[in-house]
Amino acid sequence: MLLVIFSGSRKGRIIFLNGASSSGKSSIAVQLLSVLDTPYFNMGVDVINGLRAKERTLELGEDEIREVLVHTRAGFHRAVAGMAHAGNDVVVDHVLSEPWRLIDCLAVMSGLDVVLVGVYCDLEELRRRENARGDREIGQAERQLAKVHAHGLYDVECDTGVLSSRACALRIKDFLARPAGTRAFDRLRERAVAAGTLGPDQLGVK
């Protein structure tokens, strides 16, 4: 019997939105899907979290939920890389508030075109949004803000305290129309390999 498996050569692009909670990542992702000329997927970490059995998750203790969240995030990174390797363009919405999350993404998204977008918003506005939303732990955005941009390198930056989600999406679209240069993700990966944080044998989806 002849077995035929998928073997397309196209690799998708990843637009990676990183910012603190309430900075406006998911809102930009929605606008990007509308303004981009080709059909992108919207894969947010909150969407992946929402796929897990809610009642069983609520029964978990503190250590157990921590463990589950590590597996969820690691699975999310690999799911995104898998989609792009199968030729799909993806908008990723994530919070890089722990160093391992970025290192893991640099490893599993190796060989893919990743456009890293810094989503900024001033603390006062973040606090206002957090309070208005009412479904987020108060202070979460402030804690994340101190860590989430620590790597200090982006391809594009947006300030949602100043720009609408639509304007941010259009700025990202403009960036994509420019000739491709070295991406922030590639520089960060080189930096991590040089520092020994990432071994050359750890690159690619494992």
Ligand X SMILES: Nc1ncnc2c1ncn2[C@@H]1O[C@H](COP(=O)(O)OP(=O)(O)OP(=O)(O)O)[C@@H](O)[C@H]1O
Q: Which residues lie near ligand X (CB under 6 A)?
A: 19, 21-27, 46, 93, 95, 129, 133, 136, 160, 163-165
Task: Give CA–CA dist 22/130, Å, rounded.
Answer: 6
Q: Which residues contact 111 (CB under 8 A, 6 or more apart)?
A: 11, 203, 204
Q: How far is the CB of 41 from ligand X (least distance, A)?
A: 16
88 binds, among ligand X, Mg ion, none (CB under 5 to 8 A by kind): none
Q: Are 28 and 47 in contact (CB under 8 A)?
A: no
Task: Give CA–CA dist 46/135, Å, rounded.
Answer: 13
Q: Which is nearer to ligand X, 95 or 115 (CB)?
A: 95
Q: Which is nearer to ligand X, 97 or 110 (CB)?
A: 97
Contacts with Mg ion in 41-60 (CB under 5 A)? Answer: 46
Q: Which residues contact 68 (CB under 8 A, 6 or more apart)?
A: 52, 57, 60
110 binds, among ligand X, Mg ion, none (CB under 5 to 8 A by kind): none
Q: Which is nearer to Mg ion, 76 or 85 (CB)?
A: 76
Q: Which is nearer to ligand X, 21 or 110 (CB)?
A: 21
Q: Which is nearer to Mg ion, 114 or 119 (CB)?
A: 119
Q: How far is the CB of 182 from Mg ion (least distance, A)?
A: 29
If we measure between CA atoms, which residue out of 76, 98, 97 comes closest to residue 205? 76
Q: Are 23 and 161 in contact (CB under 8 A)?
A: no
For residue 22, the one-letter residue type is S
Count of residues interacting with Mg ion (CB under 5 A):
2
Q: How far is the CB of 27 from Mg ion (least distance, A)?
A: 8
For residue 133, the one-letter residue type is R
Is 31 a residue that touches Mg ion (CB under 5 A)? no
Is 26 a residue that touches Mg ion (CB under 5 A)? yes
Is 160 a residue that touches Mg ion (CB under 5 A)? no
Strand ranges of the sheet holding 113-120, from the earlier edge strand across to the other edge: 41-44, 90-94, 13-18, 113-120, 156-159
Alpha helices in 134-164 (DSSP H): 140-148
Residues forming the site for Mg ion (CB under 5 A): 26, 46
